Amino acid sequence: MSQTQEIHLVAHRGNARDYPENTLPAFASALSIGLRCLELDVHLSCDGVPVVIHDHTLRRTAGVAGTVFDLTAKQLAHIDAHEPERFGERFRGTRIPLLADVLALLEGRSDVLLFVEIKRASLARFGHEQVISRLLPLLREAQAQCVVISFDLAAVLRARQMGAVAIGWVLDRYDARSRLKYEASQPEFLFCDLQKLPTEGNLWHGPWQWAIYEIESIAVALALAARGVRYIETMAAQAMSTALRTAQSGG
């Protein structure tokens, strides 16, 4: 099997190059392009409902003051997440989705894998137990195709204890100390920023899959595949999907 056939593209916050990140249009677009792996970010609203947004502050994605923690899920559902600094008014009316809204896209789609990242700010605000106890029941119906991930190792380990089928740790650094931690914890996935990796050599081997993010070049993706990486996370879903199909066809 060729390296290109083994590559799985992960839509980082959906097709976030062409649509506002972490929104239903971004996820729907990634699926329509043909990607079968999605990644999203989760915070809790003030009433403890998981909502899909990267920053806990609303300024960058919604163009308004305040934080996710200030508002109920019902109030957040009326706030646009149209990224006005990036798209102007083009996507006005695109709302902040609930996690439940995104999970609905998986119905009848057992071929889709969803990476759900728990954000540190919510863990600090509400505590690990509350965040995970609010998250996991929503994932239960699709738990076989959901992977709970976080920079916070304690959070993903607690998620596993509470019933998560698969977990992934997002590394702050690629070093010996981190290696000891993940060899002990045995996550199914390890995520790492490309810039934090050594420039050459195979990555540490174990019973996990590597997922490397911030990739927008098929040449870089192929080089990573040669080093043992099978999951390539990108915001440029359309361009990377087209380039991968070309590489697979030998074009």
Between the CA of residue 106 and those of 13, 25, 59, 136, what are the distances in Å? Answer: 15, 14, 29, 16
CA distance 11 to 236: 8
Residue numbers annotated as active site: 12, 54
CA distance 165 to 148: 8
